[in-house]
Chains A and B, each alone.
Chain A
Amino acid sequence: MATLANRLRLSSFSEMLNTSRHRRENFYGYLFLMPWLLGFLGLFLGPGLFSLYLSFTKYDVLSPPTWIGLDNYTKMFFDDPLFYTSLGRTFYYAGVGVPIGVIGSMFLAILLNAKLRGLAAYRTLFFMPSLVPIVASVVLWKWLLHADFGIINQWLVDLGWSDPPGWFGDRRWAIPSLIVMGLWQGLGGTRMIIFLAGLQGIPESLYEAASIDGATPLHKLRHVTIPLLTPTIFFNMVLGVIGGLQVFTAAFVATEGGPGFATTFYSLHLYRHAFDYWNMGYAATLAWLFAFVIVSLTIWQLRLSRRWVFYYGS
């Protein structure tokens, strides 16, 4: 056993080692962090705070911003009908598209997870649409869903629907058209792969136990697969909502927010104020509210998840 003096000496020695090690860790840690840190401060935090400042100003880029207090906020809440309608349409798009997309991806993954021959080919095929660039996909879908010459409407007419929808050109059908296109691109993409990874994490023993108890495939789906996939469902829901609410390119390229304002989603509304009317101050206000909405929704989903997400083994 070491004497007190020895211990002291040892500890001070190790402390010295520690501090030199500490210094080294701090130095190299920050040195290598530098590229990201610069980007974070210069392209994210700085601009984010500047945007908060801009939200209290009137600013058109060419002349300096002028402080107008809460005017942008009162305008947003009380004097901009498009604020509410665009937010509503965005919720409609994400609220319908995301759950269908997540559940659809899950079922595709469950089908692909069966131990059958030739499934790799199906997986590849399902994945392909997610590779098509959005703009190319819009060009394609505008043609598929063309009111007069689109093959889908021609089929619908053949099936006896004499007055098929005008899809992108019809106020009521424009958002469903975008949802259909989004599903085609999204169902078999990365989300499906994430579900496949989730399925592979379910212990085989649970299925064996269920079989011994005489469970049918539907029972197994209902009582083993889906409960054990709830963390994956939750993860994909959160990501899907964050992405779905920010929908821009598809709507902008397909319809420019029309017909009428039928596809003027929140991000298009924001874009118009920023880059068509050069109301940068007001656009910044819209952006900050948007961030607030998305972050609150994410936190709400996290809270809610405690009620339905099941973590196996915990």
Chain B
Amino acid sequence: MAATIERLPSTELRGDVYRRRRNRVQMGITYILLTVAALMFAFPLFWTVSSSLQTWKELRSFEPHLLPAIPQWGNYVKVFSAVPFARWMGNSFLITAITIPGVIITGSLTAYSFARFNYVGKEIWFVLMLGTMMIPTQVTLIPQYVLFFNLKLINTYVPLTIGSWLGGGAFMIFLLRQFIMSIPRDLDEAALMDGASPIRILWGVLLPLMKPALTTVAILQFLGDWNEFFGPFIYLNRVDLFTAAVGLRFFQNIPMETSDPRDHLLMAAAAVMTIPVITLFAAAQRYFIQGVVLSGLKI
């Protein structure tokens, strides 16, 4: 910006001074607005951490404490003894360990089929797949529940993970398909000339190139499962099988009379449950944004 301004002819210099001042005002306003927004977004996060380190008495006083008098790190230990939170987190991890390979394998296969083969009815299947995104989950929920109930699969992780081994959902398939479409077909053709089978092409040529897309899909799957409440809530009713999300609600809903005061512990549990997600974000930030780029939303 500055460089272009200096190169302007001197007759326009006056206008420049004016414009430069206006730019500075504009910049100032932008920063002020951004900072106000940032404080509003950040405060609840700060408050979670701060509350989780306070004593229950500090929390329940009419004078709010912005910071704990003495940070109660012990709260984080107590969470794990008050409820089987470690077990619940472990269960959540277990579910993602089942679903992530599922969506990577079957999602890639489906995407490969849509991106690289011409067959009868492909367009119809593709439109139907995209259409599934519009239909509310409640429509299929009840019959699915009946199905899994009759198959005696309540209180197993099958209902929660089977979808990921059957393509993994329209959105994931769509992302992977878009990515495969962006890989030049020449690579496939060359491998085909060398006598590679289609599955060999997917495995040897495309998958290695798809790593960014696969990482994105894996992350989205992790976030989805980690956040998921409804499925685990209706399919799991044994406490030892709960996921972190269902467990946290269970902890929240233990009747007051039968439990020690626990507002501070709930905050600690909420923080603990968020840590894996934030860690993942810190480690792989760009892949969180890649989903948007991959879907080809240039709009």
Q: Tell whether A290 pairs with B136 under 8 Å between CB atoms, given A126-B38, A126-B41, A135-B229.
A: yes
Among the stretches A4-12, A39-47, A72-80, A165-173, the one at the interface with B is A39-47
Query: Does B59 interact with chain A (Cβ within 8 Å)?
Result: yes
Query: Does A307 interact with chain B (Cβ within 8 Å)?
Result: no
Q: Is the CB of B270 within 8 A of A139?
A: yes
A274 to chain B, nearest CB (A): 6
Query: Does B138 interact with chain A (Cβ within 8 Å)?
Result: yes
Q: Is the CB of A298 within 8 A of B113?
A: no
Among the stretches B69-77, B93-101, B207-215, B245-253, the one at the interface with A is B245-253
Bitwise interface map of A from 262 to 274 toward B, beta carbon under 8 Å scored 1, else 0: 0000010010001
Bitwise interface map of B from 140 to 177 toward A, beta carbon under 8 Å scored 1, else 0: 11111111010000000000001101110000010000
A147 to chain B, nearest CB (A): 12
Which listed residue (A139, A280, A295) contacts B248, Cβ 8 A?
A139
A197–B26 alpha-carbon span in the complex (Å): 22
Name which of B26, B106, B229, B293 has the most chain A CB atoms within 10 A of its CB.
B229
Which listed residue (A32, A133, A246) contacts B245, Cβ 8 A?
A133
Name which of B113, B227, B263 has the most chain A CB atoms within 10 A of its CB.
B113
Q: Is the CB of A294 within 8 A of B134?
A: yes
A40–B114 alpha-carbon span in the complex (Å): 15
Q: Is the CB of A33 within 8 A of B113?
A: yes
Which listed residue (A48, A190, A283) contacts B140, Cβ 8 A?
A48
Q: Give chain A's interface secondary structure class.
A: helix
Q: Is the CB of A267 within 8 A of B138?
A: yes
B32 to chain A, nearest CB (A): 10
Q: Tell whether A25 pairs with B44 under 8 Å between CB atoms, given A48-B139, A133-B277, A253-B229.
A: no
Query: Does B64 interact with chain A (Cβ within 8 Å)?
Result: yes
Query: Does B241 interact with chain A (Cβ within 8 Å)?
Result: no
A137–B38 alpha-carbon span in the complex (Å): 17
Q: Is the CB of B113 within 8 A of A201?
A: no
Q: Is the CB of B125 within 8 A of A37?
A: yes
Q: Tell whether A140 pairs with B47 under 8 Å between CB atoms, given A125-B42, A131-B278, A284-B142.
A: yes
In the complex, chain A residues whose CB is within 8 Å of the CB of B145: 61, 274
A24 to chain B, nearest CB (A): 8
Query: Does B281 interact with chain A (Cβ within 8 Å)?
Result: yes
Query: Does B37 interact with chain A (Cβ within 8 Å)?
Result: yes
A17 to chain B, nearest CB (A): 14
B92 nearest CB neighbor, chain A only? A133
Within 8 A of B (CB), among A168-192: 184, 187-188, 190
In the complex, chain A residues whose CB is within 8 Å of the CB of B293: 197
Which listed residue (A143, A187, A242, A288) contacts B51, Cβ 8 A?
A143
Q: Is the CB of B62 within 8 A of A25?
A: no
B270 nearest CB neighbor, chain A only? A136
Q: Is the CB of A139 within 8 A of B125?
A: no
Q: Is the CB of B122 within 8 A of A29?
A: yes
B261 to chain A, nearest CB (A): 12
Q: Is the CB of B149 within 8 A of A46?
A: no
In the complex, chain A residues whose CB is within 8 Å of the CB of B229: 134-135, 249, 252-253
Q: Tell whether A29 pairs with B117 under 8 Å between CB atoms, given A288-B139, A298-B134.
A: yes
A300–B120 alpha-carbon span in the complex (Å): 31
B227 nearest CB neighbor, chain A only? A133
A276 to chain B, nearest CB (A): 11
Q: Tell whether A151 pairs with B64 under 8 Å between CB atoms, given A135-B249, A284-B142, A290-B138.
A: yes
Q: Is the CB of B30 within 8 A of A111?
A: yes
Query: Does A160 interact with chain B (Cβ within 8 Å)?
Result: no
Q: Tell whether A39 pairs with B44 under 8 Å between CB atoms, given A149-B59, A270-B138.
A: no
In the complex, chain A residues whose CB is within 8 Å of the CB of B263: 143
In the complex, chain A residues whose CB is within 8 Å of the CB of B45: 128-129, 132
Q: Is the CB of A294 within 8 A of B136?
A: yes
Q: Is the CB of B134 within 8 A of A40?
A: no
A140 to chain B, nearest CB (A): 5
A192 to chain B, nearest CB (A): 10
A267 nearest CB neighbor, chain B only? B138
A239 to chain B, nearest CB (A): 9
In the complex, chain A residues whose CB is within 8 Å of the CB of B139: 47-48, 51, 287-288, 290-291
In the complex, chain B residues whose CB is within 8 Å of the CB of A245: 136
Q: Is the CB of A274 within 8 A of B142?
A: yes
Query: Does A226 interact with chain B (Cβ within 8 Å)?
Result: no
Q: Tell whether A32 pairs with B117 under 8 Å between CB atoms, given A111-B30, A140-B270, A190-B291.
A: yes
What is A's interface to B at a CB cutoff of 8 Å?
A: 25-26, 28-40, 42-44, 46-48, 50-51, 54, 61, 108, 111-112, 114-116, 119, 122, 124-129, 131-141, 143-144, 148-149, 151, 154, 184, 187-188, 190, 193-194, 197-198, 201, 217, 231-232, 235, 242, 245-246, 248-249, 252-253, 267, 270, 274-275, 280, 283-284, 286-288, 290-291, 294-295, 298
* Sample (30) of A-B pairs whose CB atoms are under 8 Å apart: A25-B119, A29-B122, A30-B113, A31-B113, A35-B106, A36-B106, A38-B166, A47-B144, A51-B140, A54-B142, A131-B223, A132-B270, A133-B277, A135-B229, A135-B245, A135-B246, A140-B48, A144-B47, A149-B59, A149-B60, A149-B64, A154-B62, A154-B64, A184-B44, A190-B291, A198-B298, A246-B136, A267-B136, A267-B138, A287-B142
